[in-house]
């Protein structure tokens, strides 16, 4: 990697993105080979937002690599209030060999990376969710083989997950279609970046308000909750707006017959996806969740070895 941090897939080269996926597959196939890779190395896990998958996969992952973790809850740090990001960074760099942070503003992880001398891993911000997208593309490759030219359809809010999937598509040559209600499209700068940088890999980006157009002939269909953490007050309003984007049997039927269904979880069953789809043989959501472990082990190993 050119950088010592993992803040966004955008920061990786095409080669680095492929290398991380290859390493994740190696770690999944041969876990015993890496059991002392990060022996004695500690990672601070900073959580400003609650989590199941991020918490467990980073905690278990660093231990499987021979290291250890220190969990830090919002009450223990309260970034920017109890203690500044600068002070937290300068303290932790003297105590641990890496920091994972799951927070709100993307500027928080950028500042942590600016001020801390140890590697910073973005466990989620309001802008992107790069560890999730790495696990997603690992899963897609595991099931579908080569990613180049495959079509991924994403339906719902043009949010942090959508942004990271888009960045990943540009690096991996995936054709990606994003369908959102009007006014909920992804960040304009992200769209422009993916269209510009994706030319070299064969990535094609479609942004539409038509869910059927997005899903047509897709190899994978992806969705996320309609109201993310911090948007709970908008939940009822969003339900009405996003209802046409629900991934149900009728909408899923427009994808390829062997298409897979993907979701970053947690899922609000009966809202963005029906039980008929998420519990179908086409669903790979739990395989995706497991692959968070392997993808993040590859990231930790690459940054902290």
* CB 153 within 8 Å of CB 131: no
In the annotation, is 264 catalytic?
Answer: yes
Q: Is 280 helix (H, G, I), strand (E, B) or coil?
A: coil
* CB 246 within 8 Å of CB 274: yes
Q: Among residues 41, 224, 238, 246, which one is catalytic? A: 224
Who contacts 263 (Cβ-Cβ below 8 Å, separation ≥6)?
Answer: 222, 223, 224, 272, 273, 278, 285, 288
Euclidean distance between CA atoms 261 and 281, whole angstroms: 9
In the annotation, is 294 catalytic?
Answer: no
Kindly state the helix (H) or strand (E) to which residue 120 belongs, with its residue range.
Answer: strand 120-124
Euclidean distance between CA atoms 295 and 68, whole angstroms: 18
CA neighbor of 176 nearest in space, from 235, 227, 233, 136: 136
Q: Among residues 41, 102, 175, 294, which one is catalytic? A: 102
Per DSSP, helices labelled H in 74-159 are 74-77, 85-92, 106-115, 130-144
Could you tell me the CA-to-CA distances from 74 to 93, 108, 120, 200 in Å, in that order?
Answer: 19, 14, 18, 42
Terminal CA-CA length for the chain: 12
Q: Among residues 132, 150, 163, 294, which one is catalytic? A: 132
In the annotation, is 292 catalytic?
Answer: yes
* CB 269 within 8 Å of CB 275: yes
Euclidean distance between CA atoms 118 and 99, whole angstroms: 7
Q: Among residues 129, 150, 175, 294, which one is catalytic? A: 129
List the structure tokens of 217.
């002939």
Euclidean distance between CA atoms 54 and 188, whole angstroms: 28
Q: Among residues 10, 150, 292, 294, which one is catalytic? A: 292
In the annotation, is 163 catalytic?
Answer: no
Q: Among residues 10, 163, 264, 294, which one is catalytic? A: 264
Q: Which residues are catalytic?
A: 102, 129, 132, 224, 264, 292
């Amino acid at each position: 990697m050119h950088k010592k941090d993992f803040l966004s897939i955008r920061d990786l080269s095409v080669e680095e993105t492929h290398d991380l996926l290859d390493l994740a597959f190696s770690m999944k196939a041969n876990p015993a080979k890496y059991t002392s890779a990060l022996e004695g190395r500690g990672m601070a896990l900073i959580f400003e937002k609650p989590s199941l998958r991020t918490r467990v996969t980073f905690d278990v992952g660093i231990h499987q690599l021979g290291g250890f973790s220190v969990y830090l809850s919002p009450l223990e740090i309260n970034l920017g209030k109890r203690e500044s990001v600068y002070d937290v960074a300068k303290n932790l760099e003297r105590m641990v060999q890496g920091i994972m942070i799951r927070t709100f503003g993307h500027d928080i992880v950028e500042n942590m990376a600016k001020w801390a001398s140890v590697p910073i891993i973005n466990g989620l911000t309001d802008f992107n969710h790069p560890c999730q997208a790495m696990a997603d593309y690992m899963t897609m490759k595991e099931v579908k083989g080569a990613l180049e030219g495959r079509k991924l359809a994403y339906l719902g809010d043009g949010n942090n997950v959508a942004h990271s999937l888009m960045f990943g598509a540009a690096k991996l040559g995936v054709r990606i279609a994003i369908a959102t209600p009007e006014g909920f499209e992804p960040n304009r700068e992200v769209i422009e970046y993916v269209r510009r940088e994706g030319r070299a890999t064969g990535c094609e980006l479609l942004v539409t308000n038509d869910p059927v157009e997005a899903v047509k002939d897709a190899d994978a269909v992806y969705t996320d909750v309609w109201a993310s953490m911090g948007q709970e007050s908008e939940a009822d309003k969003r339900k009405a707006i996003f209802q046409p984007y629900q991934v149900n049997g009728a909408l899923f039927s427009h994808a390829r017959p062997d298409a897979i269904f993907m979701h970053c979880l947690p899922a609000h069953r009966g809202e963005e996806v029906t039980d008929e789809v998420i519990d179908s043989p086409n669903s790979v959501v739990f395989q995706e969740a497991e692959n968070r472990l392997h993808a993040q082990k590859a990231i930790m190993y690459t940054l902290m070895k």
